[in-house]
A and B are shown apart, each in its own frame.
Chain A
Amino acid sequence: MLAAAAIAADRPAVGSELERAKAAFAAGRHVEALDAARRAADSAPASLPAVLLRASIAEFMGEFDEAATYYGKATTLAPNDPDVIYRNASFAVRVGAYDRALANLDRLLRLHPWPIRWLFAWGPSRIQPALVTQYPLLVQIVQAQIDILMEKGDLARARTLALAHGIVQPDRNYCNDARGKAGQVSSDETFHIFRLAALAQPDAADCIWWYGQWLTDEGFVRLGRLMVAEGTRVTPSAGNKASGAAYLRVRLGGDREVSKRAEQLFLIARQRYLRDGDVEGATRLFEEAMRLSPRFVRPYHYRAQIAWDGGDDTGAVTWLERALQVDPESWRTHRNLGRLLGRLERFPAAETELTTAVGLFGDDAGGRLALARVLYAQGKYAEYARETSAALAFFKRYGQELPETRDFLARHERWGPGVGVPPAPDPPVIMGWNYD
C-alpha cells in the first residue's frame, strides 16, 4: 500500500523528467536529455517508457554499456513487446552482436501468426509486397536481416533475401538511378539508392565501388571496405583492380581490424564533438574506440583535432604521429599532419608529409595545393608552379576554376616571387576521399 502510494506520488515527477528528456533531445541538447532520462529511469525503474527512453538515448550517445543494461531491463519488464524486441535487435546490430540480433528478429517474427510466418519465409516474391504492407514489422525484419548479411560479407545471401522479399526488382537498373541522383539528394537517400544498386546488380562494379566510397566518407568503414573489395573483385579492368586495392590500403587501413563497436563509437564521438561540442564525452568515446581497435586511425585524427582546437599544437602533432605508427600508409593521416605542420610553419616536415600524401593518392589536388604552398614558403618556386599547375588542371576537369589560386600563380609567373604565400583551397571533388 505504501509502495503503491510512493509510485503514485512519483508519477508526475517521472512524467515531467520523461517529457524534459524528450524535449531536450528534440532540441538537440543531448547530454541534458540523457541526464533527464537517467533521472526518469532511476526514479521509476518499473516504468517501461522511462527505461526504454534511457536505453535509446544512451545508445544514441554511444554509452553502449548503459544502453545494454537498460535494454535488458526493458526486456525483463516487457519480454514480448515488439518495440522492445526490435530495439534490442537494432542495438545488437549496432554493436556487431549479429547472432543476438538474429535471435531477436526471430522472436519478432514469431509474434506473427504462423501462416504469415510461413508465407514470409517461403511464399513467392510476388506476394511479398502485399504481405509487408499488411504487416509492416516484416519489412523492418527483412531489412535488418539484409544489413546483417551485408555486414558479415555475405552479399550473395543478402541479394537473395532482397529479391525474395521484393526489396529490389530483378529487372530494374538501380545503378542508373544512383548515377543520376548521387550528389543531388540527401545523404540518407544517397545511402538508400546505392544500397539498392549494390543489392540488385551484382555485376555493377562501379556502383558497388561508389557505394563503398560513399560509406567511407560517411565513416562506415567496415561496410565501405567490404563494398570496395567487392567492386574491385567484380571489375574486369586491371587498372580499376589496382585502384581498388590501393584505396583499401591507403584510405581504409588495409587489413587492419576495426570492430563494429569501435566504428560506431567513432561515428557517435564525431557527432558529439562536431555537432554537440561535447569535448569530454567525445574524447572518452574516441579513446574507447582506440582501445578496442588500436590500429583504426580515424579516432586519432579527431584526438588531434580536439588538441588543436584547444590550442595544444604539440598534442595535435603527437596524435597524428601516433596514427602513423599504427598505419604508416594512411593517406589522410599524412595529409592532415602535413597541413598541420604547414600551419605551424614547419615547412620541411610539412613538405615530407604532403609529398607522401600525394604519392599515396595522385589525384589529391587539394593536397597538391597544400604542398605547393609549403614549397613556396621555402622558396622552391619551380616545384610550386609544377604542383599548382597540376592541381589546377585537375580541378578544371571537374569544373572548378579556383580563381585566387590561378591568379596567384599567374602573378608569380609574370613578376617573380611575391611576399605572401599562395592560397591552398581544398574543395571536395572525388567521392570517398573527402571526409573522415
Chain B
Amino acid sequence: MTEHLAVLVVAAALAAASPASAEVHRWIDADGVINYSDRAPQPSAHPVAPAAEPAAEPPVVMATVAAPLAVPAPAPIPMPAAIATPAEPAPSGPVTLDVLFELTGTKRQLAGLTARLAREFRPAKGQVLAPAQVTIERIVARTFHPDTVYQLAKEEFARGLDRAKLEAKLRWLRSPLGRKVAALEIATADPEHDRELAEFGATVAAKPPSERRRQLVERLDWVSGASDVSADVTAALSSSVTRAIALNAGGGRRPSRRQIESQAEEVRAGAAVTLRQATIVSMLYTYRTLSDEELERYVEFESTEVGRWYNALLRRALLTTLTRTFDETAQAVFAAVPPDRWARATPTAR
C-alpha cells in the first residue's frame, strides 16, 4: 500500500460519486449514536433539544453524508506524464523516513488525505452559528495540520522499522517502474483528478477492463489492503464522532464502548463492499497507462515479504495516526460546540 494512500482517498471519493453506490444516510439518534443506513432516519431518530443559544435553524445535530469521505470539487486534470517524478534520495548515507516518504509520495498523499478527512468535521452551511463555525475551523486547522499528522504517522511507522526490508523497498522505488508507479499514484492523489476519475468510473461498466487487468487490480487491492484501510478509516471516524458526541451531549444514556465498537463494525461492514468496488475502479484509473506486464511486476513486488511488510506497517501507522486525530478533533469540536448546537440537516443522498 506504499503509494495507495492516493487510492484510498480517491476510492472513497469515487464511492460517493459512483452511480453504483447506494444512498447512504448518516444521522445521530437520541442516544448520540451515529447511524449509517441506506434509508433515511425515522422522525423519532432525531432528538429535538432546546437550543443553547438563539438560532434561526431548529436545534439538532450533524450533517449527513453520502459516503465516508466527501466528494471534492472537480477541476482540470494534468496528464500523468506532465507530473514530476518523485525526488531521488542521496545514493549513499542513512536513509531517513523523510526521504522515503518523499520518494514514495506518502507525504504529499497524506496531506491530501487529511485535507479531505478534515472536511468531515466541518459543519455544512447554516448548521452552526458563525462564531461556532470559526471555532470549529480553528480546531480542525490545528488537529489536521499536515505537518502534525505527518509527524505522527512517521513516528508510528518508525516503531516497526526494519532496515534490511527498508533497503529492499528503496531499491524497488529507485527502479524505473517503481518511480513510474509512484508518479502515477502521486498524480491521482491530487484532488484535481477527481472529476476525471468519476468520469472514468462511469465508463467502466460500458467498457470493462480485460479479465487479466481486473484480476491484477483485485490482487493489488488484496496485497496492499487499500480498500480494507478505507473501511477501517471509515469505522474509526464513526467511533470517534460517536464517542465525542456521547461525552458532550447533555443528559440521556450514553452509548457504551461495546455499543460504539459494535456500531463501528457495522459501519465498516456496510461500507466494505462499496469501497472495494470503488478501489478497483480507482486502481484501474490510476494505473491505466501501465501495461499489463508492468502492473503484474508491480503486483509481484507488493506480494513479496518486503511489499507486505511495508504495506502492513504503513497501514498500522496510518490507522493509529488517523484514529488519534479523529479522537482529538471530535472531542475538541463537540466540547466547544455541543451536539445540541448543531442544526439538523435533512438527510440527503448523493
Contact = CB atoms under 8 A, between A and B. Distances in A.
A239 interface: no
B225 interface: yes
Interface string A304-318: 010011110000000
Could you say which of B219, B256, B257, B311 has the most chain A C-beta atoms within 10 Å of its C-beta? B256
Contacts of A420: 225, 228-229, 232, 315
A404 B272 contact: yes
Contacts of B311: 419
A415 B257 contact: no
B312 A419 contact: yes
A414 B269 CA distance: 22
A27 to B, nearest CB: 13
Contact of A309 (B225, B253, B257, B269): B257
Contact of A418 (B223, B253, B256): B223
Interface in A399-422: 404, 411, 414-420
B207 interface: no
A415 B219 contact: yes
Contacts, number: 42
B258 A415 contact: no
A306 to B, nearest CB: 9
Nearest to B254: A277
B225 A418 contact: yes
B1 to A, nearest CB: 6
B55 to A, nearest CB: 30
A305 B308 CA distance: 35
B330 to A, nearest CB: 16
Nearest to A311: B257
A141 to B, nearest CB: 40
A175 B280 CA distance: 54
Contacts of A277: 253-254, 256
A419 B228 contact: yes
Could you say which of A277, A305, A414, A423 has the most chain B C-beta atoms within 10 Å of its C-beta? A277
Contacts of B228: 418-420
Contacts of B223: 415-416, 418-419
Interface in A210-254: none
Nearest to A343: B261
B301 interface: no
A419 B257 contact: no
B303 interface: yes
Interface in A295-309: 305, 308-309
Nearest to A305: B258
Contacts of A404: 269, 272
A272 to B, nearest CB: 12
Given A404-B269, A419-B315, A308 B257 contact: yes
Interface in B255-272: 256-258, 269, 272
B162 to A, nearest CB: 14
A249 to B, nearest CB: 29
B234 interface: no
Contacts of A416: 223, 303
Given A277-B254, A309-B256, A418-B222, 8 more contacts: A308-B257, A309-B257, A309-B258, A404-B272, A415-B219, A419-B228, A419-B315, A420-B225
Query: What 6 A-B pairs are tightest by C-beta distance, nearest first?
Result: A419-B225, A420-B228, A309-B256, A309-B257, A277-B253, A419-B311
Interface of A: 277, 305, 308-311, 404, 411, 414-420, 423
13 contacts: A277-B253, A308-B257, A308-B258, A309-B258, A404-B269, A404-B272, A415-B219, A415-B222, A416-B303, A419-B1, A419-B225, A419-B228, A419-B308
